[in-house]
Amino acid sequence: MSIAAAVILALAVLAALWAVMAYNGLVQIKNNVGKAWANIDVILKQRHDELPKLVEVCRQYKQFEQETLERVIAARAQVASARENRDIPALGTAEGALHAGLGRIFAVAEAYPELRSNEQFMQLQAAITALENALADRREFYNESVNLLNVRVEQFPDAIIARRFGFKQHALLEFSEEEKTDVNLKALFDA
């Protein structure tokens, strides 16, 4: 075998190894995105199951703001719909509305000493707060995984493999401007 043939063969082997490694790397990141979404989905489902219990406990106090409860119920339905459809932009918007509604319930509850002393309310509040914290962690992992995939799909030379095998970019889970702004505590307590 001539030196030129050996060099060409070595370059072909290196190119094939690179292609395999690039493909496997893209597969791993794509699966991390799926895993991250599944983790978010589990937390959203758990919170979805807890919210009706919280609303029902609050409804037991006749004077409790019905409008606030209705907003939470509507936002819960929007989150469920976006989750089922895997509509990431709609989920971010619906999450903002739900987060605001939950904040309002917990703030308004301060005006109801009997509600605040209700053991079931306190347990639900703690459970939902824990789920919110877990959800924030899962969102971060999801967005990091999506970002890694999106960069690799666009980055040369990985873009060649990505286009060839149909790897697509995914949407980041972003939040509404309302959710990113500071909470106006005065407005919550004045209502």
The CATH number of 30-190, from 1.20.1440.20, 1.10.10.10, 2.60.120.10, 3.40.1080.10, is 1.20.1440.20
CA distance readout (Å), 165 to 19, 44, 82, 158, 161: 11, 31, 28, 11, 6
Q: Is the pLDDT of residue 177 over 80?
A: no
Q: Would you place residue 101 in the very low, low, confident or very high pLDDT band (cuts 50, 70, 90)?
A: confident
CA torsion 139-144-145-149 (nearest 10°) is 140
Buried/exposed code over 36-48 (b: 16+ C-beta within 10 A; e: otherwise): bbebbeebbeebb
Indicate the domain borders of the chain.
30-190
Provide the whole-model pTM. 0.72
With a cut of 70, say whether residue 188 has pLDDT above it.
no
Q: What angle do CA 101, 102, 107 make, to 5 degrees?
A: 100
Give the pLDDT of residue 191. Answer: 44
The tens digit of pLDDT for each residue in 44-80 reads 999 888 888 888 888 777 666 778 888 888 899 999 9
Residue 38 has pLDDT above 90, yes or no: yes
Give the Cα separation of 60 and 43 in Å (integer).
26
62-92 CB burial, b ≥16 within 10 A, e <16: eebbeebbebbeebbebbbebbeeeebeebb
* CA distance linking residue 31 with residue 180, whole number of Å: 29
Residue 183 is predicted with a pLDDT of 44
